[in-house]
Amino acid sequence: MQVFLQTVVGGVSLGAVYALVALGFSLVYRTMGLVNFAHGNVVTVGAYLASTFYLSSRLPFALAMAVAIGLTGAIGLIIERVLRPLENRDFDLMLIGTIGFGIVLDALIIMIWGATGRAVPSPVPSAPLDVFGLRIRTYDLVVLAIAAIATVLLVLFLSRTKTGAAMQAVAMDHEAATAVGIHVGRSNAVAFMIGAGLAALAGGLVGPLLYVSPALGGTLGIKGFAAAILGGFGSIPGAIAGGLAIGILDSFTAGHFQGYSELVTFLIFTVIIMVRPTGVFGERTVNRA
């Protein structure tokens, strides 16, 4: 029983990070119908920026994260601006454009920070909590709390603000949205900016859990993408459920299947997707192409 519960605890904190990555994927997909393949690389940029401001500039962790989110959000704006001329014209080129951006970001990361990575010490150095023999890291609780707050803020933004409502309208029917005076380009830009900000949040938070290296975004990007699909691409609750599910599934398969755990995780993922192609929370396929 203890192994079972400890496995769940271990899977949940990384699951929360996968959920944040999935949220970024879903938000851009929801608004534009586009899979941003540069998203994983944006996570790495966010992780490096946060760790640089935290370790080199010696800013407090929260402030370093805020600056990193702001700067990474700006990168999201740049990506959208470059892709904008293709919007509603050539969807395939837009997809390839995001892949190209990913490669460029990867190269820039290595040029700026080098090929080797860096370890980020935990910003909350207190000892793990002991709950009936279960060990819970205090930093895991911080990650969970921040992920939860970010999700609530995102939902509130989409449902309660004018810009959020406009983005939802664009997602449903961009021509009708244009007709009522909504600026589709600006709406997409906001989606990209928030998506990149979420990527920076995930990257910054995961630094002290893992190790910041150019390869970081690769793993998180694939797991986050899988989480978004599992939950239902474009669905906000789906991204969260998918992220946590992938995190916990990963943790369990690691215990039971050892060296074959990755294979088993993706086999289970494939079976679920075969049974329910739109994902657990997905009701329809958003397709703006």
Q: Please return the burial class of 49, using the count of CB atoms within 10 Å of its CB with bins 0-12, 13-18 and 19+.
A: buried
Q: Which residue's entry shows tokens 């961009």?
A: 174
Q: Binding another protein by CB under 8 A: which of 197, 214, 221, 242?
A: 214
Q: Is 10 in the site for another protein (CB under 8 A)?
A: yes
Closest of 162, 155, 161 to residue 180, by C-alpha? 162
Q: Which C-beta is closer to another protein: that of 74 or that of 103? A: 103
Rounded-to-integer distance, Cα 54 and Cα 63, Å: 8
Q: Which C-beta is closer to another protein: that of 47 or that of 158? A: 47
Q: Which C-beta is closer to another protein: that of 192 or that of 252? A: 252
Q: Is 181 in the site for another protein (CB under 8 A)?
A: no
- In whole angstroms, the minimum distance from the beta carbon of 118 to another protein comes to 7
Please list, in sequence order, all residues whose beta carbon lies within 8 angstroms of the beta carbon of residue 90, skipping any fewer than 6 positions away: none
Stretch of residues binding another protein (CB under 8 A), selected from 43-51, 174-182, 260-268, 270-278: 260-268
Rounded-to-integer distance, Cα 201 and Cα 44, Å: 10
Q: Give alpha helix (H) positions in the chain.
A: 2-32, 39-51, 61-83, 91-113, 138-160, 162-172, 174-179, 184-206, 216-231, 236-257, 261-275
Q: Is 142 in the site for another protein (CB under 8 A)?
A: no
Residues 82-121 that bind another protein (CB under 8 A): 106, 110, 114-119, 121
Q: Catalog residues that contact another protein under the rule CB under 8 A.
A: 2-3, 6-7, 9-11, 14, 106, 110, 114-119, 121, 128, 130, 135, 137, 209-211, 213-215, 218-219, 247, 250-252, 254-256, 258-262
